[in-house]
């Protein structure tokens, strides 16, 4: 087995996870636990595929996915921020809803493949200079531009969260919304915008699956990747930079699980599939034992903010 | 100017009216959607009801789907009452089913009552242990239980998948990855054409209602949920209460797994939960953690699922439409909670200013 090819495939498999994880990090940093990741990915996947099929335009397809994911998140934001509904239940409802919509709308799509114009747009493109680095160039810099977008977004999200005033405000909203409110931050606005941004990212992650990775319509195309993204947020301790490492690691496990089946090795693929979740639990226990502030879940995660309760 | 305040003294009748209005709103919204797609919404809804309750067979099917939903929801309600956000029911069902199946497959020849009893105990232990692990870490290090229990679901799922495709696969079924069926002794008997899980369900509704509302233990669980400090000052043994509640919660979910494996599938299978662990979180919440309400909500949900698969064959509407409807109903009902708990008052700005000056 060629290790370089394996790693190339790893980056591919990790990319949809990366988008969804970045989205959920931003959402949770706003203090909202949205378990609708799987649903929003499916919304993005079906919208991206449908738009791509009709318009044959890759940019419009991505735009469709972004809008679909953000609209799903808007429902969640309206219910949990404005109407203060329970976040866990609302997130689960969103997953049911997204699965329903994609199954319903996707019924007529099954069997269709992406048009050639879109496939060629998302074909591997070697980056100048970087792409010529031995091994690393082949693995990281001879990919499709969606993968590159992932690199850029990691940095953008990292800067946004840790080096801008907006990021600081966002973290305050997630840690202590009452204090944020008292210091003049519009808590609801921050929550709405970031939850929707998170949904848009999940939509993009889903569209990567249907438009680039597969690229054919299958029912339930995300196959539980949304839940892996929820795990990844913890694994990455709410840090975009660690998210990229985690996403590729979990993507790699996915690939290894598939490859191992061909070799009839002693380790069954289901046990490997377990690893991301087991490792996540260990990380979760570890961060709760150490109580390092930067690595902990946002303090107000899951709690609705009610101004009059102050 | 808009002002939102917490509501007090809303009668039960009013709050039920709100919820019914929410469901009606959801049905109306979905009906419009169906109309756009060229279906007659009244016909579709009517046939959903018919699909769920139209014949004796369909009523039985609906009840069979209600049983695990009610038992699991009761389990979740106990944990939720303590504000332990156990969303690991799915995994606890799997592990209960796994433990019960291990007993059934290892000792197929012991007498039926004995075997079923052993399976029952094993199921409760399996689910209970699976819930205790996150509870231990929650008590010890305050580890986030929502995320922990969620991860445990996937480990349980992969474990059962592994057994089904690996060591437990029935070698006699070539080409099919299925686990061997239980012996006759390991299968729940039927009463009125439905496995006796329904009797267990009815007993549990009463038992949990009494436990939560009429016993000291149930009261203690609620107190710990409200405030650990209050519980500590009152001299309660918090660790013991937490463990009791979680073992009951996980145990009930495990029991649901045992009933599904024994009564419905007659063996362990990946399909044994059918997503009940997640649906039950929703029914628990909509049932406001109250046993009798949970039972009603679960029945309605099961009817929705059963009716949904019927309209697929009757109208060629994809089965996903039922999921879509479920999602929309949930959104509406979740949204309506706000209007039950909070009051929105419109005030004119002058009055607000005057009040401010007074203060």
Mutate to test the interface with A, among B134, B148, B150, B338 (most CBs of A within 10 A): B150
* Chain B residue with minimum CA distance to A274: B155
B128 by DSSP, 3-state: which? Answer: helix
pLDDT of B78 reads 94
Asked if A268 has any chain B CB less than 8 Å from its own CB, the reply is: yes
Say yes or no to pLDDT of A1 above 60. no
Q: What is the pLDDT of residue B149?
A: 92
- Per-residue model confidence (pLDDT) at position B190: 84
Are the Cβ atoms of B85 and A98 closer than 8 angstroms?
no
Between chains, do A88 and B148 touch, taking CB under 8 Å as contact? Answer: no
Residue A262 reports pLDDT greater than 70:
no
C-beta atoms of A83 and B334 within 8 A? yes
Question: Can you tell me the mean pLDDT for A214-235?
Answer: 87
Cross-chain Cβ contact B338/A85 below 8 Å: yes
Question: Can you spell out the DSSP letters for B325-341?
Answer: HHHHHHHHHHHHHHHHH
ipTM attached to this prediction: 0.87
- pLDDT of A121: 83
Across residues A52-81, what is the average pLDDT? 95
Task: Please name the residue ranges forming H helices in chain B.
Answer: 12-36, 41-53, 56-81, 89-106, 112-141, 145-165, 197-214, 216-226, 228-233, 238-259, 276-286, 291-315, 320-341, 349-358
Picking from B85, B142, B158, the nearest residue to A270 by CB comes out as: B158
Q: Which one, of B159, B177, B169, B165, lies nearest residue B92 by Cα?
A: B159
Is the CB of B147 less than 8 angstroms away from the CB of A297?
yes
Tell me the pTM: 0.88
Q: Which residues of A touch B137 (CB under 8 A)?
A: 285, 288
CB within 8 Å: A89 and B162: no
Ranges A58-67, A228-237, B104-113, B327-336, most confident: A58-67
Burial state string for B248-261 with b = 16 or more CB within 10 A and e = fewer than 16:
bbbbbbbbbbbbbb
In the predicted structure, residue A96 carries a pLDDT above the cut 70: yes
Nearest chain B CA: its distance from A33 CA (Å):
10
Specify the pLDDT at position A265: 59
Inspect the interface and report whether the beta carbons of B326 and A94 lie closer than 8 Å.
no
Q: What is the pLDDT of residues B32-45, one digit of tens each?
A: 888 887 888 888 88
Establish if B331 touches chain A: CB-CB under 8 angstroms: yes
The verdict on a CB contact (< 8 Å) between B318 and A83 is no
pLDDT of residue B37: 77
Q: Does the distance separating the beta carbons of B87 and A88 come in below 8 Å?
A: yes
Identify any residues that bridge with B190 across adjacent strands, giving them in sequence order.
Answer: B195
Q: How far is A213 from chain B (nearest CA, A)?
A: 24
Residue A48 Cα, gap to closest chain B Cα (Å): 19
Is the Cβ of A96 closer than 8 Å to some Cβ of chain B? yes
Subunit contact B6:A96, Cβ cutoff 8 A:
no
Across the interface, of A33, A89, A271, the residue whose CB is closest to B285 is A89
Four-CA torsion B48, B54, B57, B58, nearest 10 degrees: 20
Q: What is the pLDDT of residue A65?
A: 96
What is the full DSSP assignment across chain A? --HHHHHHHHHHHHHHHHHHHHHHHHHHHTT---TTHHHHHHHHHHHHHHHHHHH--HHHHHHHHHHHHHHHHHHHHIIIIIS---HHHHHHHHHHHHHHHHHHHHTTTTT-B--HHHHHHTS--PPTTGGGSTTHHHHHSSS-HHHHHHHHHHHHHHHHHHHSHHHHHHHHHHH-HHHHHHTT--HHHHHHHHHHHHHHHHHHHHHIIIIIIS-B--TTTTTTHHHHHHHHHHHTTT-HHHHHHHHHHHHHHHHHHHHHHHHT-SS-HHHHHHHHHHHHHHHHHHHHHH--GGGSPPTTTT----GGG-
Q: Which residue of A has its CA nearest to B275?
A: A96
Asked if B318 and A103 come within 8 Å (Cβ–Cβ), the reply is yes
Out of B159, B161, B327, whose CB is closest to A93? B327
pLDDT higher than 70, residue A308: no
Task: Using CB atoms, pick whichever of A88, A96, A277 lies closest to residue B155.
Answer: A277
Residue B320 in contact with partner chain A when CB distance is under 8 A: yes
Residues of chain B with pLDDT under 70: 1-4, 6-11, 345-359
C-alpha to C-alpha distance for A25 and A281, rounded to whole angstroms: 17
Mutate to test the interface with A, among B84, B154, B325 (most CBs of A within 10 A): B154
**Interchain proximity A281–B320, CB inside 8 Å:** no
């Amino acid at each position: 087995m060629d290790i370089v090819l394996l790693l190339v495939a790893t980056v591919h498999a990790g990319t949809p996870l990366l988008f969804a994880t970045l989205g959920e990090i931003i959402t949770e940093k706003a203090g909202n636990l949205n378990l609708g990741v799987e649903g929003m990915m499916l919304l993005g996947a079906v919208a991206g595929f449908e738009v791509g099929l009709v318009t044959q335009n890759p940019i419009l397809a991505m735009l469709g996915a972004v809008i679909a994911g953000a609209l799903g998140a808007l429902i969640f934001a309206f219910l949990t921020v404005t109407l203060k509904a329970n976040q866990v239940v609302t997130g689960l409802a969103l997953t049911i809803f997204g699965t329903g919509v994609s199954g319903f709308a996707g019924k007529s799509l099954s069997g269709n493949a992406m048009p050639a114009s879109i496939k060629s747009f998302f074909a591997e493109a070697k980056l100048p200079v970087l792409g010529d680095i031995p091994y690393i160039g082949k693995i990281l810099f001879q990919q499709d531009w969606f993968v590159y977008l992932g690199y850029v977004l990691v940095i953008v999200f990292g800067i946004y969260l840790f080096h801008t005033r907006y990021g600081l405000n966002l973290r305050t909203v997630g840690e202590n919304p009452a204090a944020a409110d008292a210091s003049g931050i519009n808590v609801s606005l921050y929550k709405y915008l970031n939850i929707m941004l998170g949904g848009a990212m999940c939509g993009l992650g889903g569209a990567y699956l249907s438009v680039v990775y597969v690229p054919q319509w299958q029912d339930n195309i995300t196959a539980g990747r949304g839940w892996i993204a929820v795990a990844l947020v913890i694994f990455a301790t709410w840090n975009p930079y660690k998210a990229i490492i985690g996403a590729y690691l979990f993507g790699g496990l996915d690939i290894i699980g598939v490859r191992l089946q061909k070799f009839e090795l002693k380790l069954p693929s289901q046990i490997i599939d377990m690893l991301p979740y087991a490792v996540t639990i260990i990380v979760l226990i570890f961060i709760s034992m150490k109580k390092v502030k930067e690595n902990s879940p946002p303090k107000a995660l899951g709690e609705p903010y009610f101004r009059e309760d102050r | 100017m808009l002002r939102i305040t917490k509501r007090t003294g809303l009668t039960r009748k009013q709050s039920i009216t709100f919820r019914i209005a929410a469901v009606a709103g959801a049905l109306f919204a979905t009906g419009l959607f169906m109309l756009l797609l060229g279906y007659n919404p009244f016909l579709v809804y009517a046939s959903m009801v018919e699909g769920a309750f139209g014949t004796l067979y369909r009523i039985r099917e609906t009840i069979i789907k209600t049983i695990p939903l009610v038992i699991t929801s009761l389990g979740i309600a106990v944990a939720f009452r303590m504000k332990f956000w156990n969303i690991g029911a799915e995994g606890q069902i799997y592990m209960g089913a796994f433990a019960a199946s291990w007993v059934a497959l290892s000792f197929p020849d012991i007498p039926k009552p004995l075997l079923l009893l052993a399976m029952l105990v094993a199921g409760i232990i399996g689910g209970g242990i699976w819930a205790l692990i996150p509870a231990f870490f929650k008590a010890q290090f305050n580890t986030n239980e929502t995320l922990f229990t969620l991860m445990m679901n996937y480990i349980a799922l992969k474990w059962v998948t592994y057994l089904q495709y690996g060591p437990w696969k029935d070698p006699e079924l070539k080409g099919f990855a299925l686990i061997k069926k239980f012996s006759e002794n390991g299968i729940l008997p039927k009463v009125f054409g439905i496995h006796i899980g329904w009797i267990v369900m009815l007993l549990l509704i009463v038992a949990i209602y009494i436990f939560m509302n009429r016993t000291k233990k149930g009261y203690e669980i609620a107190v710990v949920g409200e405030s650990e400090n209050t519980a500590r000052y009152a001299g309660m043994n918090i660790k013991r209460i937490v463990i009791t509640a979680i073992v009951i919660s996980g145990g009930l979910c495990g029991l649901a797994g045992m009933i599904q494996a024994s009564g419905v599938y007659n063996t362990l299978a990946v399909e044994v939960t059918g997503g009940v662990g997640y649906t039950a979180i929703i029914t628990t919440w909509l049932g406001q953690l109250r046993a009798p309400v949970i039972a009603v909500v679960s029945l309605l949900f099961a009817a929705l699922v059963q009716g949904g698969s019927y309209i697929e064959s009757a109208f060629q509407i994809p089965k996903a439409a039922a999921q879509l409807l479920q999602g929309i109903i949930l959104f509406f009902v979740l949204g309506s909670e706000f209007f039950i708990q909070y009051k929105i008052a419109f005030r004119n700005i002058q009055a607000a200013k005057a009040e401010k000056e007074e203060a």
